[in-house]
Chains A and B, each alone.
Chain A
Amino acid sequence: MTAVEPRATVEITVDGVAVEARPGEMLIAACERSGTYIPRFCYHPRMSPVGMCRMCLVEVDTGRGFGLQPSCMVPVSEGMKVSTDSDAAKKAQDGVLEFLLINHPLDCPVCDKGGECPLQDQTMAYGPGETRFVEEKRHFPKPIAISETVFLDRERCILCDRCTRFADEVAGDALIHFMGRGNHTEVNTFTDEPFASYFSGNTVQICPVGALTAAPYRFKARPWDLTETLSTAWVDSLGSRVAVQASRNRVLRVLGADADAVNWGWLSDKERFGFEALNSAERLSAPMIRDAVDGDSREFRQAGWGEALEAVADALRATSPERVAVLGGARLANEAQYMWAKLAKGVVGTDNVDAQLGDGLDPHLVLGLPRATIDDACRPGATVLLVGPDPKEELPTLYLRLRHAIVNDGVKLVEVTPHATGLSHLAAHSLRPSPGTTARLVAELVDAATGPVPPGGPSEIEAAARSLREAGDGVVVVLGRMSLAEPADIADAAARELSRLPSARFLPALRRGNLMGALEAGLAPGLVPGRTQLEDAGEGAPLVESWPRLPDSLGLDATSVLRAAARGDIDVLVLLGADPLNDFVDRDLAYRGLRGAACVVAVDLFVNDSASLAARAVLAAAGPTECDGTFTNVEGRVSIMSRKVTPPGTARADWMIAADLCERLEPGSTRGLDSPQAIRAELAQISRAHAPITEDALTQNPMEGVLLASPSGATGEAGGWRRSGRPTMGRSPVDRTEPATGPAGREDPLEELPEDGFLLVATRTMYDDGVMLRHCGSSRGLAPAATARINPADTDRIDIDVGTAVRVVSDFGHIEATLATDAGVPAGSLRVDWLAPGAPANALIAAATDVTVVSVEAR
């Protein structure tokens, strides 16, 4: 039997002109690509067609004569003839437009959508000048709040099903529905079930009329006053592409841009509305300094840049390199990260630099693993192994892509997570290791998947292993840090186990904005830009020519930096957008470290809790919409971040602050580095990984961006990892002063659990008490109140009613929360959110312990 070659194209005739169409594509899309725009309201290329609005009716002839068909529902077929402007088609379209308008309020002058409204545009272009409708229009109270941020005006609604379809089909949060019927049909929420979706803002963007509006933009601007620039979202590490819109030097709206390889036009509400923090009145507009953190002169005072920078430079000059440390950097653009790496390692000469705060993965491992793209993970038929955090909470647009792939493209998900995730109900297999046992469980899984004997047992782990085995070389591992109460060693050990999966590729689920960029730029101990080990960066490396010096010895990671600071061994601690008090895994150690460092310098948009506690100087930095640069997402995709507005006051771009300090400490060290482009050029010169990032490539791929060279090169050379040998998959060369007990150190922490004890699981939620969210006007209240969740079966073990206020106590501290049950939490575990308002989970955790045992007390 000979296979029939699938045809690459089919030929159709649109208004008498022959047009090539793609097999299977809908007529409306084929016509649009060939230049014939068919009006539509319900059709959206990223959602399944519903054919509801009937606006796209055209005459179609497939051999049996012309007849009216909705072009969003008709797949093209060979020889199809289409008439989009016949009398019958025009009459039908005019009729539908009239039907849509009869009950539409025509309050365009006060409608936020006016000026960018498809219904208005269509009416202006083709609509009747006068109405034939003399009856009373349909009335509803308007608008109603269907969530904290989204408002619904049912009078304007044309019932196109876009928002409800999005909520159900794309986000999986079917919280808005059609209600009533006929002419009384309306979109609404059920009583007491608000549209509390992380993705609600997308419905506002895709609404074809002004029915859905979002609090941050309501009545703020008219679309024709806005100017727009393509940029990259900064709140998580996925790098969703966005359009930033501003008027009169103020960002007013962020919309999702449809990058086929990344976010498909969707955004989480945090990405969409996070810009509000940048407009906050509490933004720093000038450097602030104080002479002491205790005593009389502890209030910050505004300072000039010269004074502030000279003070910092003085502090750096007055000490030796190994007594200087830099924490953070994920907030920065790639160029700024490179400049800070150069300042710290190449000018000051310290290797005590860590962009992660004990809550990430071994950077050497992340940079060495063969990398997958989002498209690889979502390829039809792929198998995805999730060993990491809940994507819905931490990488929301990845969650949307994975959800779509699982539901529509047969992608199989195997998840190893400490509690149920937003994808658990779609997962083929869910494994729930107890805290402390992750690495062992992953090792078992990998053994079963790769062993000589195919796994045949009935256990969930064997079944999961079978799925991985059947996937062959199609496994994409989404790898991240799961519970923050489980030390990094265990996560790193699990990651090393996973690297034994043959031809598996990895998508690191990193926390916080541009963390991949930070690691690629060398903001980690033992690394310099270009995925190069510090020990290999000496003689002959291109780095040597542009960097005045290199650190003499390997530096400390964040945990060790804070320990050293607590001992009084750190003189200058730079917080590069970091807030260790809230983000570091051990709150007590963070506190002691901050207080123990002689001089803490923060570079930030706000005075965060850590800076407020300990900083001597806070350097006002420009926000992500206020400076040019590039962003590296977890795939290694570099895309443009554009300056849209000017920073408040004299706040400066992070790269400029670093460059200024470099010049003060080592005149001439930044010669020629007077723009982000120039910095990019230097980085591309010294890092082979960055070689593809040319100005031409960025200009030619404005939407998709450009991928860094993958570390998966055949010899290990392509990424410029090492001059000799393969990537080291081993432990980071950095000395960890007090290594936690290894993954095999304990057999099963559950067995040693006290009768009323629980193993702590702490994971991040999308909304928390972080400094940026605190300043987002409309999202501020969304951080869930502190809750301690236990498995329903565990309620018997404690004599406390569910729903009551409790105190969660560990050996190191306590937090207050409300007790709740959650079947997604395994028995024996107690789950808390990472940074609930007033209840920081890191108060319970000590960096040196491998499992955190907590108990629950009534309060």
Chain B
Amino acid sequence: MGTPSATGGYPAPLPDRSAGAGYLQHAPGYVLNDGPKLVTGRFVHEDSFTLERSVATGGYEGLRAALEMTPAAVHDEVRAATLLGRGGAGFPAGVKWGFLPPGKRPYYLVVNGDESEPGTYKDRLLMERDPHQLIEGCLIACYALGLQQCFLYVRGEMALAQERIAAALNDAYAAGYVGRGICGSDFSVDIVMAWGAGAYIVGEETALIESLEGRRGMPRLKPPYFPAAVGLYGQPTIVNNVETLSNLPWLMVNGSDAYKGHGSESSPGTRMFAVSGHLRRPGVYEVEHGVTTFRELIYGDNFCRGIREGHELKMFIPGGGSAPWFFEDHLDLPLEARPVGAAGSMLGSGAIVIMDDTTDAVRAAWRVVKFFARESCGKCTPCREGTTWLEQILRRILDGEGRPSDIDLLLDIGDNISPGPYPVAAHDGSEAVPFPPRQTTICPLGPSAVAPVVSTIRRFRHEYEAKITRRDPIPIEVVPVGASQ
């Protein structure tokens, strides 16, 4: 649809990405703001990914601290810190570790570095900027659980992360941090890096395990519900997120009391949020967990500094592409899993997408649904057929070919993928339906595609109706990748 404008399709000026605005040129997307830095502390150094810089700035000190304790004590420390999983479900890591059935060895640790939720790009930064911190975190987890084998699974598209991790692993092996007799102890671990072939669904832990085993990345059937019971190669497996493990070195050096000194009581520590969209200062922020609200994050001076010049907030996605959408009514909710879930959405993997009043609700919904239709693995019928059908109908409405029955059809297809009341955000006095949605599918991917449809029809039904009755197509511009940089 025409040539991209000078602003790459943006109708308003691009945000200021200069160093003066807080961006680090060597860590694209990361914003260095004020506040405690538990996992991104090393990012200020341009060579933060090297072993030399890592060791010079306290790298592997957490591992040494752990090796002086018993494995059980390390586990207790993690449990005491209430370190919540950062992958989306927010389950306490220390409790998850306790699910390993005794005696069914070997156990495996699998690191979920398949960060692919639309809007999320925090793990990429952690893998690219500080791979040694991640490796150290893996080693601490392996020590605590008595594992000898760790698999580091990196998303297929993240070439730089793969490169940096591979180099870091080689250096760490050479320096004796990984391999046999780590740091002179009798503790030995092998870490193997594997990478995906570019499938969103592999972020789901059982699909990741399938992919790691060399098969198609398709979610496994439940039960068994947790890989801790039956995981990689049928053995008990702990799957942890990159950010979760990256917290361990700081935690081991400073202890669980210091860790709990940050954040709220129920969600201690810090959390990385990737905030994108129509903001003055979008980016990845390390934020104190549970004490910051959406309003502070979006409008605060220390954070995103508000919606771009001359525009208002229209809607936002609080937890990545699969979360039901929020509106201005929800700005005062804290950045914490439980209240967000009760309000009808999820905090998920910490991806917040801001859309201002220039955003066409139908088109935005179409774009997100298109993503899920493309990423459906094709295993179960409602998701394989339903997501594409939703996408085709939305596309048709945008093309000016909508039919009055389409709105009900969209909702009914959604109901056939996710039966019963769909989680919706409370607004206009309506009652919230808490997360998660129910599903006729094996995994939550199908229901995720329903979120933008239900969210936008609920709030912006008039936009759908206007398009259906007006029947003039809305051009869909193709913004070349990188044009908005």
Contact = CB atoms under 8 A, between A and B. Distances in A.
Contacts, number: 97
Contacts of A99: 381-382, 384-386, 389, 416
Contacts of A88: 419-420
A183 B440 contact: no
Most chain-B Cβ atoms within 10 A of its Cβ — which of A51, A73, A95, A185?
Answer: A95
A98 interface: yes
B440 A68 contact: yes
A265 B419 CA distance: 37
A85 to B, nearest CB: 15
A98 B221 contact: no
A182 interface: yes
Interface string A98-138: 11101100000000000000000000000000001111000
B199 interface: yes
A68 B384 contact: no
Interface string B333-351: 0000000000000000000
A806 interface: no
Interface string A654-667: 00000000000000
A159 interface: yes
Interface string A41-60: 00000000111111101000
A471 interface: no
A95 B415 contact: yes
Contacts of A53: 380-381
B440 A95 contact: yes
Contact of B419 (A91, A103, A182, A184): A91
A178 interface: yes
A243 interface: no
B264 interface: no
B221 A73 contact: yes
Interface residues of A, number: 35
B442 interface: yes
A96 B378 contact: no
Contact of A183 (B388, B396, B403, B409): B388
Contact of B199 (A73, A134, A181, A184): A181
Given A50-B221, A51-B221, A95-B440, A68 B381 contact: no
Nearest to A67: B438
A180 interface: yes
Contact of A159 (B384, B403, B416, B441): B384
B376 A92 contact: no
B384 A96 contact: no
Contacts of B438: 67-68
Interface string B200-223: 000000000000000010000100
Contact of A180 (B378, B380, B387, B419): B378
A686 interface: no
B376 A102 contact: no
B332 to A, nearest CB: 33
B470 interface: no
A288 interface: no
B385 A57 contact: no
A158 interface: yes
A135 B382 contact: no
B409 A102 contact: no
Contact of A57 (B216, B405, B440): B440
Contacts of B392: 135
Interface string B109-145: 0000000000000000000000000000000000000
Interface string B370-385: 0001111111111011
A472 B380 CA distance: 46
Most chain-A Cβ atoms within 10 A of its Cβ — which of B377, B380, B409?
Answer: B380
B381 A100 contact: yes
Given A50-B221, A73-B221, A102 B216 contact: no
B380 A52 contact: yes
Contact of B376 (A49, A133, A134, A182): A182
Looking at chain B's contact residues, the main secondary structure is helix
B373 A183 contact: yes
A599 B416 CA distance: 76
A54 B385 contact: no
B373 A182 contact: yes
A52 B385 contact: no
B349 to A, nearest CB: 21
Contacts of B374: 182
Interface string A291-322: 00000000000000000000000000000000
A182 B377 contact: yes
A159 B378 contact: yes
Contacts of A133: 389
A135 B389 contact: yes
B377 A181 contact: yes
Contact of B375 (A52, A159, A182): A182
Interface string A162-186: 0000000000000000101111110
B412 to A, nearest CB: 8
Given A135-B392, A182-B375, A91 B386 contact: no
Interface string A625-669: 000000000000000000000000000000000000000000000
B415 A91 contact: yes
Most chain-B Cβ atoms within 10 A of its Cβ — which of A54, A55, A102?
Answer: A54
B175 to A, nearest CB: 40
A328 to B, nearest CB: 49
A83 B312 CA distance: 49
Nearest to A132: B409
A67 B387 CA distance: 22
B442 A183 contact: no
Nearest to A133: B389
Given A91-B415, A95-B416, A96-B440, A181 B376 contact: yes
B389 A54 contact: no
Given A91-B416, A181-B199, A52 B376 contact: no
Contacts of B388: 182-183
A183 B384 contact: yes
A185 B440 CA distance: 19
Nearest to A41: B381
Contact of A178 (B216, B387, B416): B216
Given A68-B440, A92-B416, A102-B385, A183 B376 contact: yes
Most chain-B Cβ atoms within 10 A of its Cβ — which of A100, A178, A183?
Answer: A183
A94 B381 CA distance: 12
Contacts of B221: 49-51, 73
Interface in B386-412: 386-389, 392-393, 396, 403, 405, 409
Contacts of B409: 132
Nearest to A182: B376
Nearest to B201: A181
A51 B380 contact: yes
A291 to B, nearest CB: 68
Nearest to B389: A102
B440 A92 contact: yes
Contact of A52 (B381, B403, B417): B381
Interface in A180-194: 180-185
B380 to A, nearest CB: 5
Interface of A: 49-55, 57, 67-68, 73, 88, 91-92, 94-96, 98-100, 102-103, 132-135, 158-159, 178, 180-185
26 contacts: A51-B221, A51-B380, A52-B380, A54-B381, A54-B441, A68-B419, A91-B415, A91-B419, A92-B416, A95-B416, A95-B440, A98-B416, A100-B381, A135-B392, A178-B378, A180-B378, A181-B199, A181-B377, A182-B375, A182-B377, A183-B376, A183-B378, A183-B387, A183-B388, A184-B378, A185-B377
Given A51-B221, A51-B380, A95-B382, 12 more contacts: A50-B221, A57-B440, A68-B438, A92-B416, A95-B417, A132-B409, A134-B403, A159-B381, A181-B377, A182-B377, A183-B378, A183-B385
Interface of B: 199, 216, 221, 373-382, 384-389, 392-393, 396, 403, 405, 409, 413, 415-417, 419-420, 438, 440-442
Kindly list the 3 A-B residue pairs having the minimum CB-CB distance in the complex, ordered from nearest. A95-B416, A185-B378, A99-B385
